[in-house]
């Protein structure tokens, strides 16, 4: 196995580490021994040598850059694509699975998701991603967190390590869409309040939606619970951090073992 990754970012780096495979990867600037995305000769040579190709590159200016530049070089390989559960749009708090219609507010993301599926890729639809260095604990500690006070607003999320294990499980799985999410969707306010309690500080203030950016307002306009049953059945995958409390405790243990051991016990988990 030889893995080629387009876009070696936060989640893709965790996947690369978990795969244990020889790695070729692109970034925009060719940092840390990667290949620049626009170095066509080097990229095509890497694609020719790869057995498995994964893209974590989102659409740009309504176009998927990977498919536009290198789509002709992807045939005959295992293909994976990191998509978003945002393709489901607003479900008014209901559960959505991979059979739900694609009607998200970002048409380019919807189109990219569909295009990778048409190529025979394993499309991993991801909700909010957190993990070491990028979690509610970090946002609360930096003073960048806020609450919205929106009643009944529900989201799903996933620890970066569970993305990595899900994609690795997908190396031997049939093509198709797979939701990788934890077992306990809940409001963002609940998670932020728990993070503040772990840090021993007061919860951040409730802010008006009108004070947020247009992108943030659009995000909070959507409300859904993401079901992960297909990934469990087909991939044999189960999230190690099945709810945010377990995940935040693991994040805290890396930087603050005392706080992690003193954290409240994990709540019961919705196993859907």
Q: Could you tell me the residue ranges of all domains in the chain?
A: 3-255
* Average pLDDT value over all residues in the chain: 92
Residue 196 has pLDDT above 90, yes or no: yes
- φ/ψ of 270, rounded to 5, equals -75, 120
Q: How far apart are CA 262 and CA 156, in angstroms?
A: 25
CA angle 134, 191, 150 (to 5 degrees): 120
Q: Which two tokens stand for residue 3?
A: 């893995």
State residue 61's pLDDT score. 87
Q: Which residue in 28, 91, 100 sits closest to 65, CA to CA?
A: 28
**pLDDT for position 266:** 37
Q: Say yes or no: domain 3-255 is CATH 3.40.50.300.
A: no
Instruction: Report the percent of the chain where pLDDT is more than 90.
Output: 86
Which residue, 40, 127, 131, is CA-closest to 6? 40
pLDDT given for residue 114 in this prediction: 98
- Look at residue 269 and tell me whether its pLDDT is greater than 60: no
Backbone phi, psi, residue 51, to 5°: -100, -30
Helix (H) or strand (E) holding 216: helix 214-220
Q: What is the C-alpha to C-alpha distance for residues 31 and 8, in angstroms, rounded to an integer?
A: 10
Per-residue pLDDT band for 151 (boundaries 50, 70, 90) equals confident
Reduced DSSP (H G I as helix, E B as strand, rest coil) percent helix, strand, coil of the chain, to 5: 40, 20, 40
Euclidean distance between CA atoms 47 and 66, whole angstroms? 12
Token reading at 212: 């947020």
- First-to-last CA distance in the chain? 33
Q: Is the pLDDT of residue 270 over 50?
A: no
d(CA 164, CA 19) in angstroms, rounded, equals: 8
Alpha carbons 93 and 153: distance in angstroms, whole number = 7
Q: How many helices (H) and strands (E) does the chain have?
A: 11, 11
Is residue 123 a contact partner of residue 81, using CB atoms and an 8 Å limit?
yes
Reported as a single tens digit per residue, the pLDDT across 64-107 is 999 999 999 999 999 999 999 999 999 999 999 999 999 999 99
Say if residue 267's pLDDT is above 50.
Answer: no
Q: Of 81, 51, 78, 46, whose CA–CA distance to 66 is shortest? A: 81
> Model confidence over 31-66: pLDDT tens digits?
988 999 999 999 999 999 999 999 999 999 899 999
Residue 172 scores a pLDDT above 90: yes
pLDDT of residue 272: 25
Residue 268 has pLDDT above 70, yes or no: no
Q: Which residue has the tokens 């909700």?
A: 127
């Amino acid at each position: 196995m030889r893995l080629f990754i387009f876009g070696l970012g936060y989640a893709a780096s965790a996947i690369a580490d978990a795969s244990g495979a020889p790695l070729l990867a692109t970034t925009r600037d060719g940092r840390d021994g990667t290949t620049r995305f626009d170095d066509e000769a080097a990229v095509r040579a890497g694609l020719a040598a790869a057995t498995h190709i994964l893209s974590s590159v989102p659409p740009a200016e309504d176009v998927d850059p990977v498919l536009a530049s290198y789509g002709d070089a992807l045939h005959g390989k295992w293909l994976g694509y990191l998509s978003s559960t945002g393709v489901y749009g607003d479900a008014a708090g209901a559960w959505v699975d991979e059979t739900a219609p694609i009607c998200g507010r970002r048409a380019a993301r919807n189109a990219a998701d569909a295009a990778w599926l048409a190529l025979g890729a394993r499309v991993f639809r991801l909700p909010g991603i957190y993990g070491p260095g990028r979690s509610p604990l970090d946002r609360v500690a930096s003073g960048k967190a806020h609450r919205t006070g929106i009643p009944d607003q529900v989201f799903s999320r996933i620890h970066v390590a569970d993305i990595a294990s899900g994609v690795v499980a997908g190396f031997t799985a049939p093509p198709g869409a797979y939701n990788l999410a934890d077992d306990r969707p809940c409001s963002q306010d609940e998670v932020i309040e728990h993070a503040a309690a772990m840090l021993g500080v007061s919860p951040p203030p409730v802010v008006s939606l009108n004070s947020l950016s247009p992108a943030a307002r659009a995000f909070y306009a959507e409300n859904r619970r993401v079901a992960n049953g297909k990934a469990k059945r087909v991939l044999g995958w189960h999230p190690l951090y099945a709810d945010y409390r377990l995940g935040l405790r693991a994040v805290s243990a890396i930087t603050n073992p005392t706080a992690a051991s003193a954290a409240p016990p994990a709540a019961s988990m919705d196993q859907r």
